[in-house]
Amino acid sequence: MRTADIRSRFLDFFAARGHTVVPSAPLPTPDPTLLFVNAGMVPFKPYLTGEAAPPWPRATSVQKCVRTLDIEEVGKTTRHGSFFQMNGNFSFGDYFKEEAISHAWELSTSPVADGGYGLDTERIWVTVHHSDDEAAAIWRRVAGLPEERIVRRGDEDNFWSMGVPGPCGPCSELYYDRGPAYGRAGGPAVDEDRYMEFWNLVFMQYERGEGPGKTGYPILGELPRRNIDTGMGLERMATLLQDAGSFYEIDETRPVLDRAAELTGVRYGADHRADVRLRVVADHVRTALMLLADGTAPGNEGRGYVLRRILRRAVRSVRLLGYEDPALPELLPAARDCMTAGYPEVAEDFARISQQAYAEEDAFRATLRQGTTVLDTAVAEVKAEGGHLLPGPKAFLLHDTYGFPIDLTLEMAEEQGVEVDREGFTALMAEQRERARADARARKSGGALDTGALRTVLDAHGPTDWRAYDTLTTDSRVLAVLGPTGPLPSLAAGRIASVVLDRTPFYAESGGQDSDAGALTGASVEAEVLDVQRPLPGLVVHQVRVTSGELVVGDTVRAAVDPEWRLGARQAHSGTHVLHAALRQVLGPTALQSGSYNRPGYLRLDFPWRGALGPAARSEIEEAANRALRRDLPVDVRWMSLPEAKELGALALFGETYGERVRVVEIGGAWSRELCGGTHVEHAAQIGLVALTSETSVGAGMRRLEAAVGFEGFGYLARERDLVTRLAEQLQAPRAQLPERVAGLLDRLKAADQRAEELRRRTALARATELAAAATDVHGTLVVTATTDGDARALALATRDHLPAHRPGLAAIGATTDGGRAVLAVALNGAATAAGLSAATLVKSLLGGRGGGTAEVAQGGGVPADSLRTTLDALPALLTVRG
């Protein structure tokens, strides 16, 4: 039975039993504690925990999931995989254990002809919590299972909670005996390879208190509404029904593995190490396909970094199997063909998906060429000195300069028998991240808020009455003032804190649109609004600074958005939609927005594309956008169901989360039709102008357009005009001739630089000859020490090359940097290295361990400039000790 058929049978079975079929949520999750959905229940979490009222009493879904905590184990065993699908059925205060167990047994064992999976009833085992006599009795009654195939287990195996106070309860797991070829007899407690778990039924009936881990917490009592959460592993059921050895061999995975084996000439099953790499490829290519399909783009942070790591591990695994050409153009289509039956969007959007994946592979291949050389050299140095630890700064250099992920450095170093100073690397990364966060902390200087305090406000007062679409002012009551340490009764002048109002006209930052600016005014207080966020669904929080008086909880204030700010924000957001439509009009549908940001006067838009656009394409895009403004296309906003919006052709942008009712913004009808929660102008002409200011790369296969909008757009063009005018006056040339005149100046400057460089080279060559002629014999080695105002390394190499080749010789040249520190370069000829001398060892001896290089050439720095001569004078003594 194909995996797609297993999926559809599951949904049809539960739909026929009153369950609402809920589509899979996208893999990226809005939950700030998760990067990706990692369990089937995650989209239903607010209903299971009581945070929100469920819209249906019972539901069913097949949820896409990604787990990457044990990514290094993928392929080493046949159990670990990063992408999987979880079939689930859920009851929210409706049915409980009896029906959950009955449903699971019926679907698992009913004949295939009747819509079931046809599993052999004699090979099914179940586990229950040791205290759950009720579940054990139901299994005996409903399934007729004998007592020996109902296994009682403890909290670690058969009691579920989320690890925090909230719902919890016992669970019951279904296992299938795959036979003696897979392991020992005796049930799941003996061998979980032979007895494969395929379904877990969670009975949420208790509320747990504070406590660590899976055990040791108190049970506070029964839940007022008991819930059911089940999860059937789709890949595991496919493994059973397709009689496959593991999920790597099912119909949605094996074709990718086979294609990798074909490319590399490796036979699966012949060698364990090769099998591991083939499994890594099969798993990671499928995972990358699904992440890309849901809008995750490769990057250096968060979700993007996970995807980048997965893609690069797949590419490197293929290379380690001996295939040197680009691999993803061969493998990704195989994964697409496997997954299209269940997820048609991977085929519909494959042009964009493949473009991003192939660009990432191209970039990584270049990274491998550069970084591998640096890493190999560093490892050789460590081994030459008898060490086994690659320094943290070297690992950081590989990451920061060459784009080598630390995971790859760890893997490649381990393969060569060297460990990595992970603590040193982590410290340097922490410093870098701290610098990057400085601006963000300065902007949001009110400090992080306690989610518990926010939830208390939400529970006490309900959702914020949000009026941003309707008005710029509201009369509002101050519900809470929250500082970094908790709730405050009031806020004095000059202080910054977060304020919750019962109603607000302020737009909270979302969907790429910056938050509104404005003010709160009351009888005895004035405060400026610095930022507006939505930290919990339904709750709007304002960061404010009191400028005069005192803001007191319970006060009534006038909340007013700055109308000029809002106008600029509307222009910029609508301008983003216009630019996106113009981009797709010029470049085609694969140029789909993958990120944006807009504020008054400014917008930026990221999109997947390989290579720079060029002046002609940028000009065409800008013209298409401004033609739409000149035509004054109407802007229409409508609410509809998500299926209706998709049927209409509205673009759902990646990284956004949509409910069942969505807001569709149209500019010129079908010309621009997107799901969007932002504020917009009423006619395109109100945008004023879209002036492209830059087009840059923001990662492999990703480009960024930036533009000035509205009045700021006119200002940008005016500044450009003034700049051209000044250049024309200074060069005494008509404007039309400026490009040729500037090009001529640059050619002359380049020629002058070349002449100067040639003069420096000749001067250095002449000095190198003089230095070599004056070399000193130290115990049979010709030694040159000198200082220079130029390139120390170049002069050391030139001097070494003028020393007699038949005698050991070396040149040590020092130079002073602009910062008042010294640089030292040492170069040895072949006779010197053959005699056992090492440039790297000499540099580190002279500089107290700093510096590095090879036996022939090494360089280091860090000593004060005024001690450079003393350092050089110490060189002969090192050779004397050696002699």
Check whether 338 is labelled as a binding-site residue.
no
Q: Within 392-505, where are the H helices?
A: 392-402, 406-415, 422-443, 451-461
388 is in an annotated binding site: no
Phi, psi for residue 669 in degrees, rounded to 5: 65, -125
Whether 399 and 429 have beta carbons less than 8 Å apart is answered as yes
Quote the CA–CA distance of 129 and 170 in Å, as a whole number. 6
Coil, strand or helix at 860: strand
Rounded-to-integer distance, Cα 657 and Cα 25, Å:
9
Q: Is 680 annotated as a binding residue?
A: yes
DSSP of 556-588: EEEEEE-HHHHHHHHHHHHHHHHHHHHHHHHH-
Pairing of strands 465-466, 419-420: unpaired
DSSP character string of 688-730: --EEEEEEEE-STTEEEEEEEETHHHHHHHHHHHHHHHHHHHH
Neighbouring C-beta atoms of residue 763, cutoff 10 Å? 12
Helix axes 875-882, 839-846, angle to 10 degrees: 120
Helix, strand, coil shares, percent, the chain, to 5: 45, 25, 30
- Report the amino acid identity of residue 32: P
Instruction: Provide the total of helices (H) and of strands (E) in the chain, helices listed first.
Output: 26, 34
C-alpha to C-alpha distance for 759 and 766, rounded to whole angstroms: 11
> Residue with structure tokens 């518990």?
452
Query: What tokens does 393 get?
Result: 């700064």
Residue 488, Cβ neighbours under 10 Å: how many?
18
Amino acid at site 348: E
Q: Which residue has the tokens 């009026």?
A: 467
C-alpha span between 617 and 609 (Å, rounded): 13
Residue 676 annotated as part of some ligand binding site: yes
Mark the binding-site residues for Zn(2+), compressed into ranges.
573, 577, 676, 680
Mark the binding-site residues, compressed into ranges.
573, 577, 676, 680
